[in-house]
Structures are given as structure tokens and as C-alpha cells.
Amino acid sequence: MESFLDISQMLGKRDKSAEHPLFVADISEASHTILLSSSDLGVCRNGGRRGTKFAPTAIINSFKKTSSIYDKQFYLSEVADELLESQDFSQAQLTETENIKNIIQHSPASHTLHIGGGHDHVYPFLMSIAAKYPNIKISIINIDAHLDTRNDHLAHSGTPFRQFLTEHPQSTLYQFGIHNYTNVSSSSDDLSQQMQIITAEAINSITSEQFIKKLDQILVPTQDTIYVISLDADALSASIMEAVSAVNHQGLSLTTVKIIFNKIKALQPTQQYLGIYEYNPIYDNLSQKGARALTDLIVSWI
């Protein structure tokens, strides 16, 4: 029978690839940038459950266990200020925008990943990308059960896309996975020219091959557009994602999301932007099923 000493020696002789410096301090050395927004105050302002502030840590901890990423180097940075958010939410969004802008302006990375936190953090992310490409249209690919275009006076996790489209009316918002019964009609007011909705029901009623053809019709190559993917975790089916404020009993599969990812990668092969929001590790199960699912999507994207 093997002793604890034998097992310890065996583990000590394992492949040392995990000792590769996964996270680097010098942004110029990184092939990928990861931005963290560890705050859930925007979710609270929208009536949601606390806990998404812990999502960046939970996802990164799961991500670090993936051996296939150890040939890459990542620059990791927190960009949100939860204390400032509690004092002045609007100013905190401006500050977060500047933080992200300063990083992506100086980053040579081909891939930029933003992990929230609530979906309100996608607004500073989009504003920063728009600042980097002032003469190029931003096309947002939002994968979500909710439109997050609420017509509310105060900003929160349900308003970010209306905020952005108001300031960048030339931009386009594609909404994949939406449920009609979870969105009030006022969320669509005044956005018919900027927003296209593809419901979860429409996606789930066709095959993967048919969905790929539909994407080819909706999203076409263009030289004057930057595509940004925003994934709200509650777009995913409850069978793989329980850890959200609004669990989705008719959500999308990982396969469907990967199809969308692959389409954007084909349209824009040299520069990729992805935001992941609304995962709440407090409500995940002991196997960390939700974190593992999101890690799988991130790995497929990079």
C-alpha cells in the first residue's frame, strides 16, 4: 500500500507546466487582459440578490485549474470601486470607465475579458472600447434573458445598454436568448432602430446548423465595426447555471453560446472583447457547476 510519503513524492514529480507565470505584472508581456469588477451594488439597485461581487474571484479560481491555458500569459486588474459606488454610483461608473480605458489603451493583448459583478459594469466596458475606436461603430452581442435596456432614472444592472446607446446612437445591439415574459414593454421604447431581438424560444426551436445559418444572415462582415460580446449568466439554462438572481428554466445551452462566440471570432479574428456578468457563486452548488461552465466558455473563447 502506498504511503502518504509515496504520494507526496509522486505529486512532487508531476509536470511543472503549472509553474509557468500565468499572471504577469507587466501589461506589455500579456497576450490576454482580464478586468475584474467585484461589485454587486448595481444588482441591488435593480432588486437582485447580493453575491455577484464574489464572481470574479470564483471564476478566476476555477480558470486557474485549466491546464490548457498555461501557454498564455494574462494581465489581471481590478477596475471597479465598490466604496465609491456606495457613495456616488454615477461617478463610480465614470471612474471605472477611465480605469478600463487606461488599461486597454496600453494593452497589446488580442483578447480582453471583463468579469463582473452586475451587468451594470458592461457600460464602462463599452464606453472604454468606444473611446479606443472613436470612428468605428460598436456592435454589441448581448446573450441574456433580459434586455437590460430599462427606462429608469437611476442607473443599475438593468439599464447599461440604454445608457450606452443613448450616448452612442450609431451603435447596434443584438439580443440573443431574450424571454418576452421577463421584460416590460417600456424596455424596448425608442430602440427599434438600434436593437434586434432573437428570443430564446426561437433559438431553442431550431437545430445548431439552422442557428448557424441564421447568424450568418444577421451578422455580416464589415470593416467599420467592433463586436463586443456580453454574456449575462442568466441566459444559460438552469440545468447548468443555478447561480444567478433569476434562474432560467428555458435558457440557452453552452453549445449555443459557443456558436455565437465562434461567429464573432470569425468576423473579428484579431481583437476580441468579452464581458461575463451576473454569476452569483453564493447560489452555486458544491461542485461549482456554474463557475466551471463559465470557465469552459472562457477557454473556448481564448
Averaged pLDDT, 147-159: 86
- The residue among 68, 106, 123, 285 whose CA lies nearest residue 114 is 123
As a whole number, the mean pLDDT across the chain is 88
pTM of the shown model? 0.89
What is the domain range of residue 133? 20-301
Instruction: State the pLDDT at residue 278.
Output: 94
If pLDDT is split at 50, 70 and 90, which confidence band does 245 have? confident
Tell me, what DSSP letter sits at residue 1?
-
Q: Nearest 5 degrees, angle CA 58-CA 296-CA 34?
A: 55
Is residue 8 domain-resident?
no
CATH number at residue 281: 3.40.800.10
Is residue 14 domain-resident?
no
Q: Is the pLDDT confidence value at 27 over 80? A: yes
If pLDDT is split at 50, 70 and 90, which confidence band does 155 have? confident
Instruction: State the pLDDT at residue 220.
Output: 85
Is residue 35 domain-resident?
yes
Q: Are 27 and 107 spatial neighbours (Cβ–Cβ below 8 Å)? A: yes
pLDDT top residue among 2 and 95: 95
Q: Are 152 and 164 spatial neighbours (Cβ–Cβ below 8 Å)? A: no
Is residue 12 domain-resident?
no
Is residue 2 domain-resident?
no
Q: How many domains does the chain have?
A: 1
Task: Render pLDDT for 52-99 as a digit per residue (tens, 0 to 9).
Answer: 999 999 999 999 888 778 778 889 999 999 999 999 999 999 999 999
Is residue 3 domain-resident?
no
Is residue 280 domain-resident?
yes
Is residue 216 domain-resident?
yes
